[in-house]
Amino acid sequence: METLGRFLVGRTRAWGLIILVLAVSGLSLYKARGVQQEDDLLAFLPKDNPDVQLFQQINQRFGGLDLALVGLQAPDVMDREFLAGLRRVTDELKDTKGLDHVLSLTNMIDFTPDQDKGGIISSLLVTDLPANTMERDALRKKVMSRDHVVGNLISRDGSAVLVYCFLAYGTDQKSMAAGIQKVVRSAFPDDGKVKKYWGGGPFIATYIYNTTQADMKVLTPWAVVAIVVIMLLAFRDLLGTFLALLSTSMGIVLSLGLMATLGVKFNIVLSSMPVILFAVGSAYGIHILSRYYNLSEEHPTDEAVVLTLRSVGPTVLAAGLTTAASLLSFIWMDIGPLRSFGVFAALGILATLILSLAFIPAVVSITGLKRRVRSGVLVRKALARLTVFAQTRRVAVTVMLVLVAGLGLTFTARVSTQVGTI
């Protein structure tokens, strides 16, 4: 680490490293814009499992696995206007690219015995739309007399109907769910007359994706604010805080850029990776800068940089490598998205670690960064008292920690593991 420090304090080498890092980060940022989103829940099934392979082969050959369900509830589902809208929806969805088959009351084939010639007569269950009350009642009686229709295409109380939309194999579920909703809403506007319900894999995947993205939009700013506040309290310096945030952000961008380059898609798990990297990776830069600020009060800039890397560099390196190794252990899992998360999260940690040990010292060496305001005396005294308390009362502190750990294990044993989409 001391050798690295002496290498970085050279002005030419420091400038070369800074320019190289900024160039690679800029290229990674450009590439990261092309990262695509994958919202297929079946991607979480282990692909090497023979049962899963057979499951996918059946779906590819016969289809019908990706099923979107549209429920429509109205005051009278046998009303002429409602059935006209249902027929319109069914016909438009049948012509929609990406849908193999659409089934509803209006295109259901009905089979009845031929009383005159014998055999079977096949025709649509709903041939003509009812023009009056008598025809509407007759149609309702006919539909409700079909046991295979009641409970599947129409509710048992006759107040709602269901439309089945079978997606073609490999169709993007998110875009198809949006297309189905658009067609349904064009025939049945959101005016409260007809209640609409969405179900099935495509709508579940879309809901999970949208909810995850919405949560990330709320969580990310709060995480950034919390880290910035901690840095400001620790460093009392805006430039140092900005440098630590920049280093961490570039590490995240490098990981995302590599994902885009290798064609790895974002999924439900990977969408949380930037926040995790920001929270974990920022610690390395904080340790380096915090130690440097203390040493820079008594030593010149270059000497403080060398002493910083010599004193805390090995500790920071060990912490980063341990975290990266833990994340890399995900590669032994048989679930693809989790393997991707482990690999690219580990690469992001390594990137932030390297930037903390190389980029930050290089920038500090060039700029001669100094803390303008010393850290608070009260904070130092509080931490010193806490340390002395732990040293002088080792038994009591140890017992307390064991009790807390035991309590944590007790609650951990109550955690139940379940697999489900809701």
Answer with the residue of higher pLDDT: 296 or 59.
296
Which residues, in sequence order, are CB contacts of 142 under 8 Å at separation 6+? 125
CA-to-CA dists, residue 200 to 66, 165, 315, 380, 422, angstroms: 8, 9, 50, 57, 11
Residue 83's pLDDT is 92
- If DSSP states are collapsed to H, E and C, what string results for the chain? CHHHHHHHCCHHHHHHHHHHHHHHHHHHHHHHCCCCECCCHHHHCCCCCHHHHHHHHHHHHHCCCCEEEEEEECCCCCCHHHHHHHHHHHHHHHCCCCEEEEECHHHCEEEEECCCCCCEEEEECCCCCCCCHHHHHHHHHHHHCCCCCECCCECCCCCEEEEEEEECCCCCHHHHHHHHHHHHHHHCCCCCCCEEEEEEHHHHHHHHHHHHHHHHHHHHHHHHHHHHHHHHHHHCCHHHHHHHHHHHHHHHHHHHHHHHHHCCCECCCHHHHHHHHHHHHHHHHHHHHHHHHHHHCCCCHHHHHHHHHHHHHHHHHHHHHHHHHHHHHHHHCCCHHHHHHHHHHHHHHHHHHHHHHHHHHHHHHHHCCCCCCCCCHHHHHHHHHHHHHHHHCHHHHHHHHHHHHHHHHHHHHCCCCCCCCC
Residue 64's pLDDT is 54
337-370 tens-digit pLDDT: 788 888 888 998 999 999 999 998 898 888 887 7
Residue 99, helix vs strand vs coil: strand
Alpha carbons 90 and 93: distance in angstroms, whole number:
5
pLDDT > 90: percent of the chain: 23
Alpha carbons 252 and 278: distance in angstroms, whole number:
7
Residue 259's pLDDT is 85
pLDDT > 70: percent of the chain: 89
Q: Residue 93: which pLDDT band, with cuts at 50, 70 and 90?
A: very high
Find the distance separating the first CA and the last CA of the chain, reported in whole Å.
50
189-242 tens-digit pLDDT: 988 889 999 988 788 878 877 787 787 778 778 877 887 787 777 666 777 778
CA-to-CA dists, residue 211 to 171, 220, 239, 271, angstroms: 21, 14, 35, 11
361-373 tens-digit pLDDT: 898 888 887 765 5
Alpha carbons 370 and 413: distance in angstroms, whole number:
49
Closest to 90 in 3D by CA, of 141, 59, 121, 126:
126
145-167 tens-digit pLDDT: 988 899 999 999 989 999 999 88
Residue 104, helix vs strand vs coil: coil
Asked whether the beta carbons of 103 and 68 are under 8 A apart, the reply is no
Alpha carbons 32 and 344: distance in angstroms, whole number:
13
- What six digits make up the tokens of 303? 């000497």
287-324 tens-digit pLDDT: 888 888 888 888 888 888 888 888 888 999 999 999 99
Residue 197's pLDDT is 93
